């Protein structure tokens, strides 16, 4: 069967399940999630066995150690998956919420009511916990999902998806609300992106190449982020000790992810006092520094940053360091060179914080906090389907609410158009 | 200058204005709208002179009388434009609204705040009032807009846009928040659809061909509707007099628009008593009827409907009439053949109304009201940028709120990722 036919068949099953889920009670969906959480805990051994098969193949494929690390399901990782499902289950049911309701002067009743999107396609790589997170948020929001994980995690993903399907069945819902695709070539992804009328939205997670391929071929809506070029700006009125802790955390705590800081901007007023010490500590943590001319003047042996450096997401221990004239220059620089993902200001000055949060055009804008905190779990969404740097529909970490749309329900007593 | 360069230059001006508008006070934007409304009333004579030039060219171009009718600016039409701007001005300012705000257990403050999208591109045909409606909603929501109206309305559109720009200037805002493109070839539309990073969303309004061309070439998000295949379903427990009034209004009051009814479904239980009289009246109003076998049995001389008829948006005085077994069959038929625009049930039965509104997957679902009421003005939005049959971002009539996104504002006291 070719990719288009495969997707058509799977999506038809998912759509039937979606119709059932859309009118199911929140209680049933909650029960499906709690049962899946329990089954995940009970099946820790089976999950680790499936994962061991993936790891064995990964070893033969000579994957990088970072990739193998992301693939590995530890006891702690299994517990986290179960916990995330329970947190998602505990949230308020978004389905059926009234977003607005009023009577018009002529007595016509207008209501805007939240409803599921329908069928959500999710394409991702490596980390098997995404299977539970994404499927869990889809079930919570009354959607069916079609999941296509990475080839390297197929056994783990299939085992996890099986438990979510079992949770659905035990709650009296259709197992086909969670469909894991076991075909892992690129053609299936493009077929998903063109499944107009079958899949309502596709969320690709992964490298920029994969995401661009999806966007360019898609005829259905795509929610995505390309890169995370995140900035930390140290304002003239910053608590410099806090600023140092934050940039070290934002850069070093996990450099390979999209919300790690890639750029440090320091206000001219504090550059000479701030930079020497923090740069010494960053270097001690293994960070390569590349600076603007002024930064290179202050910190000896710093490599000069090229124009490309200011827009690059390194995803490793490299940091570009710039000295800026003032708050306005920092905002302009971030809006011109950033990727609209997450940018932070460190300041004790209220009006500087207000101006920065108002004018920086990013999905998350932070005050006195590490960019690494941009995360659905940390924002209280239980998990995230992905992080969007798009402006339409959803922005930033996407939770269950972001997998809904609304309908207008209009009630009259024979109202006509005059 | 080629189309891409033209759009790049215009969009750069619009983006600068958008940055200013995004941080402007609601009071200033309100003042811009009220001033524009006043100027439109004061300039009625100039607007009619500009419109006369368009009508003269339209006469030479042998446009259809329906098109000329839509193009014509009457005193009443001018007053309606001014009134719509005042209604938009009177609405609550969507910019800066807090959509959610809470503290996380670790003290991190999370806020989801509504912000403008940035630059909105709108492509439309014929009716000059769209210029005022769309620009007004963009100003209200803190966005800049790039408008590309139909060639046939260029003088009228330019005159109206000039008054909106004057309103902005008198309120201390940049005139470039409203830019009317005076190039009317198709290339400029495609350049708009590919202005990644310059235009945030494009809303094409017009024929299906134009919209498909935009969607297929677009690299920026598109919000659209293709067709309005709207149904009126007469339930077994309907007030049949009301049902008759509603289907006649929905079909005949203005057949050339997207929310006019194209299909009448009648429950088997009332078909024989309902159809003869209503079909006589519809025919008297000039409506051609095409029916399913059962409808043709009940009503003499009815042409048999083809499979294509059930999915066709006629935009003229033609109606397909079907008899359905029951409520479930009506819902299945609408979800399979409709376009997700607007569908109505006529019933006195509460549970039938509840099931219909829950299960029909359309942007507007109506109970005992004419489909012709699907309209931003009627829903209380002041006007509409367009009607979306998409599910992502906005659905149904789009008002000022639908031209916004949000950002996450995160405030810590040195919070790090553990």
Does one domain contain both A182 and A217?
yes
pLDDT band at A208 (very low <50, low <70, confident <90, very high): confident
Does one domain contain both A210 and A250?
no
**Chain B: nearest CA to A366, how far in angstroms?**
5
**Chain A: nearest CA to B217, how far in angstroms?**
10
Does one domain contain both A186 and A243?
no
* B325 within a domain of the structure (yes/no): yes
* B284 within a domain of the structure (yes/no): yes
For an interface test with B, which of A143, A381, A392 has the most B Cβ atoms less than 10 Å from its Cβ? Answer: A392
Whether B392 contacts chain A with CB within 8 A: yes
Reduced to 3 states (helix: H, G, I; strand: E, B; else coil), residue B299 is: coil
Interface of B with A in 191-210 (CB under 8 A): 200-201
B203-212 contacts, C-beta under 8 A, 24 or more apart: B203/B120, B203/B121, B203/B122, B203/B123, B203/B134, B203/B385, B203/B386, B203/B398, B204/B123, B204/B124, B205/B122, B205/B123, B205/B124, B205/B125, B205/B130, B205/B386, B206/B123, B206/B124, B206/B125, B206/B150, B207/B125, B210/B123, B210/B125
Does one domain contain both B333 and B298?
yes
Higher pLDDT, A365 or B209: A365
Structure confidence at residue A68 (pLDDT): 85
Structure confidence at residue B396 (pLDDT): 96
Structure confidence at residue A213 (pLDDT): 87
Neighbours of A68 (CB within 10 A): 17
Cβ separation A254–B417 shorter than 8 A? yes
In this complex, which of A250, A369, A370 lies closest to B411 when CB atoms are compared? A369
Pick the residue from chain B with its C-alpha nearest to A247: B416
Does one domain contain both A79 and A120?
yes
Q: Which domain range does residue B285 map to?
A: 230-373
**Worst-scoring range by mean pLDDT, A33-42, A205-214, A383-392?**
A205-214
Whether residue B73 is predicted with pLDDT greater than 90 in this model: the reply is yes
Does one domain contain both B149 and B241?
no
The CATH number assigned to the domain holding A316 equals: 3.40.309.10
Does one domain contain both B179 and B256?
no
**Worst-scoring range by mean pLDDT, A233-237, A328-332, B1-5, B336-340?**
B1-5
* B392 within a domain of the structure (yes/no): no
Q: What share of chain B is helix, strand, coil (3-state, %, to 5)?
A: 45, 20, 35
**Chain B: nearest CA to A55, how far in angstroms?**
27
How far apart (Å, rounded) are the C-alpha atoms in residues A320 and B279?
74
- B390 interaction partners in chain A (CB closer than 8 Å): 221
The secondary structure of A271-294 as a DSSP string is HHHHHHHHHHHHHHTT-EEEE-HH
Does one domain contain both B39 and B162?
yes
Whether residue A59 is predicted with pLDDT greater than 90 in this model: the reply is no
Mean pLDDT rounded to a whole number for chain B: 95
Closest CA to A392 of B3, B375, B151, B403: B403
Tell me what the mean pLDDT of segment A371-384 comes to: 95
Residues B291-313: tens digit of each pLDDT: 999 999 999 999 999 999 999 99
Whether residue B217 is predicted with pLDDT greater than 90 in this model: the reply is no
Whether residue B59 is predicted with pLDDT greater than 90 in this model: the reply is no
Alpha helices in B285-349 (DSSP H): 293-298, 327-337
- A366 interaction partners in chain B (CB closer than 8 Å): 409-412
What residues contact residue B204 under an 8 Å CB cut-off, 6+ apart? B123, B124, B189, B210, B211, B214, B215, B222, B224
* B385 within a domain of the structure (yes/no): no
Does one domain contain both B244 and B124?
no
**Chain B: nearest CA to A314, how far in angstroms?**
19
pLDDT band at B215 (very low <50, low <70, confident <90, very high): confident
% of chain A exceeding 70 in pLDDT: 100
Whether residue B68 is predicted with pLDDT greater than 90 in this model: the reply is no
In this complex, which of B367, B407, B408 lies closest to A379 when CB atoms are compared? B408
Structure confidence at residue A333 (pLDDT): 98
Interface of A with B in 362-391 (CB under 8 A): 362-370, 372-374, 378-380, 390-391
Whether residue B167 is predicted with pLDDT greater than 90 in this model: the reply is yes
Interface of A with B in 24-53 (CB under 8 A): none
* A323 within a domain of the structure (yes/no): yes
How far apart (Å, rounded) are the C-alpha atoms in residues B59 and B247?
34
Does one domain contain both A114 and A240?
no
Residues B231-270: tens digit of each pLDDT: 999 999 999 999 999 999 999 999 989 999 999 999 999 9
Closest CA to B359 of B394, B396, B334: B334
* A417 within a domain of the structure (yes/no): no
- B370 interaction partners in chain A (CB closer than 8 Å): 412, 415-417
* A388 within a domain of the structure (yes/no): no
- B361 interaction partners in chain A (CB closer than 8 Å): 118, 407
For an interface test with A, which of B257, B369, B399 has the most A Cβ atoms less than 10 Å from its Cβ? Answer: B369
Residues B129-160: tens digit of each pLDDT: 999 999 999 999 999 999 999 999 999 999 99
Does one domain contain both A207 and A243?
no
How many distinct structural domains can be found in chain A? 2
Given the cut 0.90, state whether the ipTM is greater than it.
yes
Cβ separation A410–B239 shorter than 8 A? no
Stated pTM of the model = 0.93
Whether residue A217 is predicted with pLDDT greater than 90 in this model: the reply is no
Interface of A with B in 97-116 (CB under 8 A): 102, 104, 108, 110
* B393 within a domain of the structure (yes/no): no
Mean pLDDT rounded to a whole number for chain A: 95
The CATH number assigned to the domain holding A149 equals: 3.40.605.10
| B101's tokens | 């705000």
Does one domain contain both B280 and B219?
no
């Amino acid at each position: 069967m070719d990719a288009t036919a495969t997707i058509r068949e799977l999506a038809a099953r998912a759509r039937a399940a979606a119709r059932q889920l859309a009118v199911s009670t929140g209680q049933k969906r909650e029960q499906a999630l709690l049962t899946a959480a329990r089954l995940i805990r009970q099946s820790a051994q089976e999950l680790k066995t499936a994962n061991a098969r993936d790891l064995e193949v990964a070893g033969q494929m000579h994957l990088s150690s970072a990739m193998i690390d992301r693939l590995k399901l530890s006891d702690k990782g299994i517990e986290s998956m179960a916990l995330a499902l329970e947190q998602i289950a505990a949230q308020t049911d978004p389905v059926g919420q009234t977003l607005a309701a009023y009577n018009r002067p002529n007595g016509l009743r207008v209501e805007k009511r939240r409803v599921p999107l329908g069928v959500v396609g999710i394409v991702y790589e490596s980390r098997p916990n995404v299977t539970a997170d994404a499927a869990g948020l889809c079930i919570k929001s009354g959607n069916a999902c079609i999941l296509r994980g990475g080839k390297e995690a197929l056994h783990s993903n299939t085992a996890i998806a099986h438990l979510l399907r079992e949770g659905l069945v035990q709650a009296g819902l259709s197992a086909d609300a969670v469909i894991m695709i076991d075909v892992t070539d690129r053609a299936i992804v493009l077929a998903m992106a063109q499944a107009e009328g079958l899949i309502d939205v596709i969320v690709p997670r992964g490298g920029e190449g994969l995401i661009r391929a999806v966007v360019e071929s898609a005829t259905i809506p795509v929610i995505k982020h390309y890169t995370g070029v995140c900035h930390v700006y140290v304002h003239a009125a910053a608590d410099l000790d806090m600023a140092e802790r934050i940039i070290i955390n934002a850069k070093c705590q996990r450099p390979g992810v999209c919300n790690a800081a890639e750029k440090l901007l320091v206000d001219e007023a504090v550059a000479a006092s701030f930079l020497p010490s923090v740069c010494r500590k960053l270097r001690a943590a293994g960070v390569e520094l590349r600076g603007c001319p002024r930064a290179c003047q202050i910190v000896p042996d710093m490599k000069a940053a090229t124009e490309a450096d200011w827009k690059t997401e390194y995803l490793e221990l490299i940091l570009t360091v710039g000295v800026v004239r003032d708050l306005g220059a920092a905002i302009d620089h971030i809006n011109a060179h950033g990727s609209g993902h997450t940018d932070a200001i460190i300041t004790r000055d209220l009006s500087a914080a207000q101006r920065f949060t108002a004018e920086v055009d990013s999905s998350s804008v932070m005050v006195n906090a590490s960019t690494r905190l941009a995360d659905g779990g940390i924002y209280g969404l239980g998990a995230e389907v992905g992080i969007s740097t798009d402006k339409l529909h959803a922005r930033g970490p996407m939770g269950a609410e972001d997998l809904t749309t609304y309908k207008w329900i209009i009630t009259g007593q024979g109202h006509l158009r005059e």
